[in-house]
Amino acid sequence: MNEETVEGLSLEPERYELHAEEEQHWEAARREFFGSVRGGIVVVLALDQVPATRASGAGRRGGPGVSLPQEIGVWLHIGEDGRVTGYTGKVEVGQGVRTSLTQAIADELPVPLASVRLVMGDTDLSPFDGGTSGSRTSPVVAPQLRKAAAAAREILLDLAARRAKAERASLFLEDGKVVQRGTGREFPLAELAAGQRLLKAVGDDVPTKPATAWQFADAPVPRVNGRAIVTGGHRYTSDVRRPGMLHGKVLRAPSANARRESLDTGAAGAMPGVALVVEDDFIGAAAPDELTAARAVEAIRVEWEAAGGQPSSREIFDYFKANAGEVPGSRGPTSHTAGSAAEGLSAASRVFEGTYTAAYIAHAPLEPRAAVAEWSGENGDGTLTVWTGTQRPFGVRGELAQAFGVSEDRVRVIVPDTGSGYGGKHTGEAAIEAARLAKGAGKPVKLVWTREEEFTWAYFRPAGVIDVRSGVDADGALTAWEFHNYNAGASGMRTLYDIPNQHVEFHPSRSPLRQGSYRALAATANHFARETHMDEVARAVGMDPLAFRKKHLGDARLRAVLDAAAERFGWGEALRRSPGHGFGIAGGHEKGSYVATCVEAAVDPAGGAVRIVRAVTAFECGAIINPDNLRNQVEGAVIMGIGGALFEGIAFQDGKILNARFSRYRVPRFSDVPVLETVLLDRKDLPSVGAGETPIVAIAPAVGNAVFDAIGVRLRSLPLAPNGAEPEPA
Amino acid sequence: MARITELDVNGSREKIDVDAERTLLSVLRDDLDLTGAKYGCGEARCGACVVLMDGRPVPACVTSAGSAAGAKITTVEGLEQDGQLHPLQEAFLEVGAMQCGYCTPGMIMAGVALLRDNPDPDEAEIVRTLEGNLCRCGAYPRIVAAVRRAAGMLRGGGAA
Ligand code: FES
Ligand code: FES
C-alpha cells in the first residue's frame, strides 16, 4: 500500500500550511480514517476560521471514527472501487440538496452522477455542522464540496501522471477516468485509488470551475433517490425498523403548563407486553404495537391542575405590546435608524399609519416528529443511536447527551432524508422521548408523534404585531418611515426603499406559545406590513403601486425582480378585469435573494372568500445551479405562503390549541393553487444563495393588495381571509 | 379480542396475527414492513396513507385490519411489475413531482385509482379527485402534470 501523505507527492505547493502539531494530528486522522473506510483518497476541506465556541466540548466530530478538530467543512472520499463519497453534516428535508450537492461533486471532478454518493447528517460520519437552516446549504456546502472535488482531481491527475510517466498537462478527467491526450490511454478512478491511503487537507481557497463552465447548469437533474421515493422504498425516520423494536406513546398534559396532581399507573402497568416509563414529568409506554401502547397510556389515570391566566389568540396582540421589552432568553431589541423619523414626520405633508398583525402558524410538516432510539451496552447506559428527522443532528446529539448525562461521543444521531421541516424540526423532543422509552423498556423504541401532538407540542412561527407610520412630501415622496415590530422577529425588517428618515425597531415580547424558526422567519410578517403599507400610501397619493415603489428604489436587484414579475404579469397593461377581481404587487429581499410577486385575486361577493387566480413570481438568488429544482422550491414556497396568507392561524385558549388537526387547521390543497408562473433571473456573475425561503415573503402582501384593488377593503391581518374550519370528514 | 390472521397484500397472502381493531396502516407498516404508506393525520384528511382495497383508494389510517381482511390490498410497493414502474411512478420521476417525497406514495396510489376510472382526466378532475391528498411542500402543479403525463403514457400504449 502506498502510505504516503499527499505532501510526499510532487503536488503544487501546499495551500494549507500545517503546523507541526496539526501535522501529527492529521497523521493520526489519516490512520484512523482509513481504519474505517479502508483505502483510497480522502480530501478534507479545513476551514480557516474556527469559531471559538465550537473548539471545545469534545466528542466525535464526524468522520468514520475520527477525532478531528471541528473546523472541517466537508470531506470527500474516493474509494478503491472508484466510488466517490461526499460527507456533510447538512440534511435533506425536501429542498433537493442531496441532488444539488451530488451534482456539484460530479460536475467538478467530473465523474458520472451515478458514481457519487452523499453521507448526510450522521453525527458519527459527517463533519460537525451547525444545522440545516437559513438557506445556507447550497451557498456554503456546494462550493466546499466543489473545492474538495477539485483537490481530488489534482491528486488523481498526479497519480495518473506518475503512472503514465507523462506530463500532467497531457491528462484530463472525463467520465470517471483520467484520459491522456494523444495516446487515449485511460486510468479509471478505481485503478488510481486502489492501494492508496492518501489524505490531503486543503484550505478554503482551492480554485474551482467558474459557474459558466458547470455542465449541469442548464439541464434539470433527476432526483438522486427519486426511484426509492416513488416505490415507497425510501426509509424516513418513521419507517426505520430495528430488531426487537417496540412502539412508544407519551402521556401529554391536557393543556400547557398544567400541573400533575395525581397518578395511578396500576391498570396500565398490568397490561401484558407493556413497558411503562415514569420519570419525573415524563410518562410513557412502549408496547409491541402502536394500539397497545396507546391503550396503555389511556389506562393511566392522572389528574391535572390547569394553569390560569394564559392569554388566548384573541387578545394576543395586546399582550405582546403589554409584555414587550426585556424578555429572558432574547437578544433584546434591535433597531436601525437613519436621519430623524420624528423630524421627517413633522415635515411631511401627509402622514399614514397602519397596524398589521400575523398569527402564530404551524409548520405542519407532513411527516410529524419521529425518532427511533436504541441503546447498546450494559443496563441501557452504553451508547445511544437515534434516527430522527431533524435539521440539527449535532444539536440534537447535544440535547440527548445532556438529557441522559452521557458524553456526546456515546451518542450517534442519524438523519434519514426527512419528510420536510420548513424550519420546524430544529429540536430533539421526539428523540429524547424515544430514548427515554428505549432506556426504560430495554429495547429499541420507535415514537411517531400524532398530528395533534405535532400541532400542540412542537413550536410555531411567532405571531406579531407591527405598527407603521410614514410621511410623504408634496411630491408623494416618502420622507419618513417608522416601523415597530412586537414579537414577530427582526428578519427582513429593514426596508430597501430609499427613505431619508427611518426608525425600524424589533421589540421582543413574551410568547405564551413556544415559538421558533420558520421558512423565512419574520420576513413574512415584516414584508406583509411593509408592502401593504407601501400600497396604502401609493393609493393615497394616487400613484401606481409599482411606479411608487420604483420611485423609492435605487436597489437594482429588487427593481429587476419587480420589473420581471410585472412584465410577465402584464402589470399596468389593460388587463381584462372581471368583476370582483383585483391585481396586487409586492416585493422584497431576504438572505441575499430577491423576490417579487404579482397576484390576481378574486373575492366572492357572497361570503367574502378570497381566491388567488394567478400568481407570477420573479426570483433572483445569484447564479442558478439547478433551474428545475429552483423552480420547484420557488413554487413550493409560494404555495406554502398561500396558506399563511389566506387561512392558516393557530387558535388557542387556556393553554390549549383549539385547531390541532388538519380538519381544523386549513393548509393549501390542490384547489387552492392558482395559475403559477415563475420567472428566474440568472445572475451568473453573483454567488448562488439559498432559495428555500425568500420566495415565500411576497405572496401575502401581494394578495392583500389585490383584494384592496378588487373591493376597496384593506386587510391588515394574516391570515387575510380565514374562512373557518373545513368541514369534518364525512 | 378478534384477531386477523391473513391479509391479501400485493398479490400474496400474508400470514399475520393481529388485533382486528388495529389500523390497516399500522399492520402494513409495522407487521408487514410495507412502509410506503405513511402516517400524516390519522383522520382521513391528508391522504399520505392511501392504499387500494379491491381497486378503491382508502385511507389506511382509518381502516381497521378487520375490515381489510378478505380484500385485495395494493400498496405503492406493489405497483412495480417485473422491474417496470407504473407509468405514474415514471411520470413522477420525469416531472420531478416531489420535494420531500413524504406525500408521494399516497399521491401515486390516489392517482393510480383515478387513472383506472378515467384514463384521460382533465386538470379539474385531477384536482377534485386528489383534493384529499396534502402536499405540504406544495408540489401540486407538478403532481397534476405527472398525472396528465401518465395518462398520456397509458393512452400511448405504455405498460399499464
Ligand atoms: S394518515 Fe391517513 S389520511 Fe392522513
Ligand atoms: S413533497 Fe413534501 S409533502 Fe409532498
The architecture that CATH gives domain A237-305+369-448 is 2-Layer Sandwich (3.30)
Inter-axis angle of helices A627-646 and B140-155, nearest 10 = 120
The DSSP element (H or E) to which A41 belongs, if any, is: strand A40-46
Q: Relative to the alpha carbon of A238, which ligand is closest?
A: 1
Which pLDDT value is given to residue A11? 26
**Domain B3-78, what fold?**
Ubiquitin-like (UB roll) (3.10.20)
| Chain B, nearest residue to A629 by Cα | B96
Which pLDDT value is given to residue A311? 96
Q: Where are the domains of chain B?
A: 3-78, 87-154
The DSSP element (H or E) to which A702 belongs, if any, is: helix A699-711
Nearest CA to ligand 2 atom 4: B135
Question: Nearest CA of chain B to the CA of A192: how many Å?
Answer: 35
Which pLDDT value is given to residue A12? 25
Cβ of A670 within 8 Å of Cβ of B22? The answer is no
C-alpha count within 13 angstroms, C-beta hemisphere, residue B62: 14
Of A418, A669, A676, the CB nearest to B134: A669
* pLDDT value at B6 more than 90: yes
The DSSP element (H or E) to which A248 belongs, if any, is: strand A246-250
Which pLDDT value is given to residue A541? 97
- Any B CB within 8 A of A451 CB: yes
**Domain A316-361+460-718, what fold?**
Aldehyde Oxidoreductase; domain 4 (3.30.365)
As a whole number of angstroms, the distance between CA A367 and CA B96 comes to 20
SS3 content of chain B, % helix, strand, coil (to 5): 40, 20, 40
- Any B CB within 8 A of A248 CB: no
A321 Cα to the center of ligand 1, angstroms: 40
As a whole number of angstroms, the distance between CA A199 and CA A3 comes to 9
Of A226, A448, A676, the CB nearest to B39: A448
Which pLDDT value is given to residue A710? 92
Assigned C-alpha cell, A403: 438529557
Name residues contacting ligand 1 (CB within 6 A): B 39-42, 44-49, 59, 61
Which pLDDT value is given to residue A20? 38
The reply to whether CATH 3.90.1150.10 applies to domain A3-230 is no
**Residue tagged 453534516 (cell numbers):** A89
The secondary structure of A443-483 as a DSSP string is S-EEEE--HHHHHHHS-BBPPEEEEEEEEE-TTS-EEEEEE
Distance of CA A625 to the CA centre of its chain: 18
Of B76, B100, B141, the CB nearest to A420: B100
Question: Nearest CA of chain A to the CA of B119: how many Å?
Answer: 20
Assigned C-alpha cell, A592: 441575499
Question: DSSP E strands: which ranges in B20-136?
Answer: 50-53, 56-59, 72-74
- A84 exposure class (CB count in 10 Å sphere: 0-12, 13-18, 19+): buried
- B20 exposure class (CB count in 10 Å sphere: 0-12, 13-18, 19+): middle
Which pLDDT value is given to residue A146? 93
Residue B19: pLDDT band with limits 50, 70, 90: very high
* pLDDT value at B69 more than 60: yes
Pick from A596, A615, A519, A527: which is nearest to A557 by CA? A596
Atom of ligand 1 nearest to the CA of B49: 2
pTM of this structure:
0.91
Instruction: Say which residue, B114 or A12, is predicted with more confidence.
Output: B114
**Residue tagged 411527516 (cell numbers):** A367
**Residue tagged 463533519 (cell numbers):** A127
Buried b (16+ CB within 10 A) or exposed e, B4-14: beebbbbeeeb
Q: How many CB atoms lie within 10 A of CB A108?
A: 27
C-beta separation of A495 from A527 below 8 A: no
- Any A CB within 8 A of B106 CB: no
Which residues 6+ apart lie within 8 Å of A342 measured at CB? Answer: none
What type of residue is A3? E
Which residues 6+ apart lie within 8 Å of A641 measured at CB? Answer: A524, A695, A696, A697, A698, A699, A700
Cβ of B35 within 8 Å of Cβ of A229? The answer is no
Question: Nearest CA of chain A to the CA of B91: how many Å?
Answer: 10
- A468 exposure class (CB count in 10 Å sphere: 0-12, 13-18, 19+): buried
- Any B CB within 8 A of A670 CB: yes
The DSSP element (H or E) to which A529 belongs, if any, is: helix A523-540
Confidence check on the interface: ipTM exceeds 0.95, yes or no: yes
Atom of ligand 2 nearest to the CA of A94: 2
Assigned C-alpha cell, A209: 470551475
Atom of ligand 2 nearest to the CA of A366: 3
Kind of pairing between the strands at B3-9 and B12-19: antiparallel
- Any B CB within 8 A of A379 CB: no
Q: For chain A (length 730 residues), average pLDDT per consecutive 10?
A: 35 29 53 70 76 33 42 87 93 88 92 93 86 70 92 94 91 92 93 90 86 70 90 98 97 95 94 95 96 97 95 96 83 89 96 98 97 83 91 95 94 95 90 97 97 96 97 96 96 95 96 89 94 98 97 97 97 80 95 95 87 97 84 92 96 96 96 97 88 91 96 94 46
- Any A CB within 8 A of B45 CB: yes
Pick from B42, B24, B47, B36: which is nearest to B114 by CA? B47
Q: For B87-154, which CATH superfamily applies?
A: [2Fe-2S]-binding domain (1.10.150.120)
Assigned C-alpha cell, A256: 400547557
Q: How many CB atoms lie within 10 A of CB A167?
A: 10
Q: How many CB atoms lie within 10 A of CB A697?
A: 33
- A343 exposure class (CB count in 10 Å sphere: 0-12, 13-18, 19+): middle
C-beta separation of A687 from A326 below 8 A: no
Which pLDDT value is given to residue A691? 79
Nearest CA to ligand 1 atom 3: B44
Question: Nearest CA of chain B to the CA of A585: how many Å?
Answer: 21
Cβ of A662 within 8 Å of Cβ of B127? The answer is no
Q: Where are the domains of chain A?
A: 3-230, 237-305+369-448, 316-361+460-718
As a whole number of angstroms, the distance between CA A614 and CA A75 comes to 45
The secondary structure of A574-600 as a DSSP string is -----TTEEEEEEEEEETTEEEEEEEE
As a whole number of angstroms, the distance between CA A394 and CA A414 comes to 10
Which pLDDT value is given to residue B138? 94
